[in-house]
Structure 1
Amino acid sequence: MPGSALPQDRLSPAPSSPSASPPGPLRRELSRPAAFAALALVFILFMAASSAPSPLYVVYQQQWHFSATTLTTVFAVYVLGMIAALLVLGALSDHLGRRPVLLAAVALEALSMILFLTADDITVLLGARLVQGIATGAAMTALGAALADLNPAHAPHRAGVVTGAAPTFGLGLGALGCGILVEYAPHPTRLVYALLLAGLVLAAAVLRALPETAQRRPGTARSLQPRLRVAPRLRADLLGLVPILVASWALGGLYLSLGPSVAVGLFGLSDHVVGGLVVTLLTVPASLTALALRSWPTARTLTLGASLLLVGTAVALTGVLEHSLVTAAIGTVIAGIGFGGSALASFGTLARMAAPSERGELLSVAFVISYLSFSVPAVVAGAAATHTGLRDTFVAYAVTVASLSALALLAQWLRAHRSPSRKVSPQA
């Protein structure tokens, strides 16, 4: 799930000193609390927009008659655009300022909504998702940095809670809201994008009043050079976290790409609200888990997350094999709790085991692993579903996720016994 934790630890909160570019006489700045709340809502808006197409994939597929392989390719293009933006544009707001980068990201996102509104074939849909992925990737780092900059002193964990919970909440809201509109409102492939476009226009107006918290500084061109590097002393610990990163994000990718198709193809549920609910059953528990477990020690949260991911995936698989919708839904909720705990603890562990000078690079690598896991297995599953069917594909996918979760538990046990004296820290 795109952005469930952001590398904000590498960005030093700016003091409440004069902003980098003082407002003109006609522009009134938001107060810091109002700006923080506005950024949280913009974060949710971006994530809701990113999941809104999920319930529509089935509609597009019926209208344009493309395969499951093409469907998951549309999903993957978004994630690849996001990864490219994170690698190239991740540090841009440190040099140009938060507000200009966020306004540019909103403009790109609005362009993607216009492409969705006018899409009449798969080519335009692919272009819309690519532009949307770039816009979301550009916004995520700037949003995380701005939230950290504006984090209130009396609530030091608030920015971490928002960046941990807002993305998954937004994903669930976008999928369910779109499902409701598709089922009960007119113009099913247009209305949701028109509403999101209106929301983006409002977001742009609000962001123009955002206080600038980052001083402009040189090195803009150099910051656009993508770099992936992990300090040698951290590689073993990162390797130990790879199974849970891959398992949790791959499961999220499956639900956001093929989840609604599974509801239709395996359970005969043609109601588009159910298609959105499939995504919501995974993402909302993940969001609530990030809120509930934010003060837990990372090692305990990681163990719980991997355990529930394993159990939930097994229960959901049982529901599919026995054609029990209730069992599959319960398994999805359990897996969602595991997803939220795993994402929270994984990035918390990475942030704490690295020195400040190593943290940004390490988290960038972890994000690339996560988003590749989010997209590539989903594309493979789409190709498999085209040739072997949804049921067999879901079974193989679920078994793989469960196996990776079990491997993650083993890796966590070995890591704990390898360094039993390591101090366990709570989440940020």
Structure 2
Amino acid sequence: MQTQRSLLEERTRARLFAAVGFVVVLYPAASSVPSPLYPLYQQLFGFSAATLTVVFAVYVLGLLGALLVVGGLSDHIGRRPVLVGALALEAVSFVVFLLAGGVPALLVARVLQGIATGAAITTLGATMVDLAPPHAPQRAGMVTGVGTLAGLAAGAVGAGALIQLAPAPTRLVWIVLLVLLALSAVVVAVLPETSTRRPGVWKSLIPRVGVAPRLRGEVLAVTPVLLTSWALGGLYLSLGASIASSLLGVQSRLVGGLVVTLLCGTGAVASFLLRARPVRSLVAPAAGLLALGTAVTLVGIAVTSVVVAGLGTVVAGIGFGAAALACFGVFAEIAGPDERGELFAVAYVISYTAFSVPAVIAGVGSGLVGLATAAEIYGGVVVVLGALAAAINLVRARRRPVPA
């Protein structure tokens, strides 16, 4: 009887783990849905590439604010209340998108979506750890990492397909997302509370970001790789569809979504396939692949070749996935239990700053020097930064003593 009960509990736990994994994928998928829609919104509302990147960047501001303020809230009031609030706010953002009639509505929708996503991702990550099988605790991190990249890829290509093949391109995708969000609400409704309440709620809302002195050398070495990968991701998610249509002559909205999918989908596959490799061994190769793939993509844009640009994006995507696995894996290795919260807050701040600020600069620059020149300069900086990051970490790897 006891064995049967244990098996039942294990199966229930596995089902809940998979169900929460679905929600983990949904949030990044929703965040990438606007990427293939941006050119369409530009046509409808008549705004510039600079305005487009501002619409993209306010999402990151909302997300960072939520990460820093409510990132640890679920440790005090429980996972379910935070997830319920995040789902409700995400639903409001979808409705604002659905009814949007201009740039102000897009800005409001993206800010709300950023706050909802920031509140959800840390809580979902903690819930995955709570539900992970005792014999495989690392599965939570792997599923969260791969699921995030897979979600970014799925959201972009799914939105691109609906825009290209279905009616009401700026409406239907948000209705579909509302239905998926309702399924997520069912998951949260049946989810047992996995965290006990504890005092310190108000203190947990005070943003804390810091790196212990003993960790600074490792963090500084990995930071250029973080900057390179997330800056490249920001370019693809903000201006990728516009570059495909304006510079490569691709008019299909589906292909515009595939631009993001090539980068993030390849990254998800690479992360999964490399999951057993030592994370430190991946840092330098990841940076090198980011630089190489971006360089090949720039060549494809210069000669107006979709095939060459696509090949470069795939190579960069392998680097993108390896960089995510390596950087966050190194942070998890070097930090003690009482250092992880603040260290990962620093990692997210670095990542999302690189994700948004350069993209906004590129959007403003495209209005001054043209989209092609802005993309070339942006890509050139990514190539140089990636090559530099690879060189730094190769030197560090050679100097690192070999363990007995």
Deviating beyond 6 angstroms after TM superposition, the runs of 4 or more aligned structure 1 residues are: none
Q: Distance in 1 between matches of 2:338 and 2:387?
A: 32
Deviation at 1:416, TM superposition (A): 2.0
Is the CA contact (8 Å cut-off) linking 1:241 and 1:411 kept in structure 2? no
Amino acid at match of 1:284: G
Aligned match of 1:146:
127
Aligned match of 1:308:
289
Is the CA contact (8 Å cut-off) linking 1:68 and 1:382 kept in structure 2? yes
Is the CA contact (8 Å cut-off) linking 2:163 and 2:169 kept in structure 1? yes
Pair 1:39 & 2:20 matched? yes
Is the CA contact (8 Å cut-off) linking 1:48 and 1:174 kept in structure 2? yes
Q: Distance in 1 between matches of 2:303 and 2:29?
A: 32
Pair 1:76 & 2:64 matched? no
Higher mean alpha-carbon deviation, 232-241 vs 218-227, is at 232-241
Q: 1:58-110, CA deviations, whole angstroms, 9 ceiling, x for partnerless residues?
A: 00001111010000000000011111100001000000111111111011100
Q: How does 1:360-371 map to 2 (within 5 A)?
A: 360-371=341-352
Q: 1:380-421, CA deviations, whole angstroms, 9 ceiling, x for partnerless residues?
A: 000011111111111111110111111111221232234323
Amino acid at match of 2:325: L
Q: Distance in 2 between matches of 1:92 and 1:184?
A: 42
Q: Distance in 2 between matches of 1:228 and 1:347?
A: 16
Deviation at 1:35, TM superposition (A): 1.1
User: What fraction of aligned residue pairs are identical, expressed as a percent?
Assistant: 54
Pair 1:155 & 2:136 matched? yes
Aligned match of 1:426:
none
Structure 1 counterpart of 2:210, from 204, 229, 233: 229
Structure 2 counterpart of 1:137, from 106, 118, 123: 118
Aligned match of 2:97:
116
Pair 1:186 & 2:186 matched? no
Is the CA contact (8 Å cut-off) linking 1:32 and 1:211 kept in structure 2? no
Q: Distance in 1 between matches of 2:85 and 2:162?
A: 28
Structure 1 counterpart of 2:276, from 295, 298, 302: 295
SS at match of 1:295: coil
Q: Distance in 2 between matches of 1:288 and 1:144?
A: 20
Deviation at 1:310, TM superposition (A): 1.3
Residues paired across the two proteins, number: 394
Is the CA contact (8 Å cut-off) linking 1:248 and 1:309 kept in structure 2? yes
Structure 2 counterpart of 1:91, from 72, 84, 100: 72
Point out where structure 1 has 5 or more consecutive residues left out of the alignment.
Answer: 1-29, 424-428
Is the CA contact (8 Å cut-off) linking 1:182 and 1:188 kept in structure 2? yes
SS at match of 2:190: coil
Q: Distance in 1 between matches of 2:139 and 2:337?
A: 20
Deviation at 1:422, TM superposition (A): 5.7
Structure 2 counterpart of 1:248, from 204, 214, 229: 229
Deviation at 1:363, TM superposition (A): 1.4
Pair 1:272 & 2:235 matched? no
Q: Distance in 2 between matches of 1:232 and 1:206?
A: 41
Q: Distance in 1 between matches of 2:245 and 2:304?
A: 12
Is the CA contact (8 Å cut-off) linking 1:313 and 1:331 kept in structure 2? yes
Deviation at 1:232, TM superposition (A): 1.3
Report which structure shows greater RCO (CA 8 Å, sep ≥6). 1
Q: Distance in 1 between matches of 2:122 and 2:231?
A: 22
| TM-score (norm: length of structure 1) | 0.90
Deviation at 1:201, TM superposition (A): 1.5
SS at match of 1:357: coil
Point out where structure 2 has 5 or more consecutive residues left out of the alignment.
Answer: 1-10
Structure 2 counterpart of 1:285, from 254, 262, 266: 266
Say what the alpha-carbon RMSD is for the aligned residues. 1.2
Q: Distance in 1 between matches of 2:160 and 2:398?
A: 47
Aligned match of 1:344:
325
Q: 1:241-266, CA deviations, whole angstroms, 9 ceiling, x for partnerless residues?
A: 11111000000000000000001110
Deviation at 1:366, TM superposition (A): 1.1
Is the CA contact (8 Å cut-off) linking 2:285 and 2:390 kept in structure 1? no
Q: Distance in 1 between matches of 2:188 and 2:26?
A: 13
Deviation at 1:154, TM superposition (A): 3.2
Is the CA contact (8 Å cut-off) linking 2:93 and 2:112 kept in structure 1? yes
Pair 1:209 & 2:179 matched? no
Q: Distance in 2 between matches of 1:422 and 1:71?
A: 50
Q: Distance in 2 between matches of 1:106 and 1:273?
A: 28
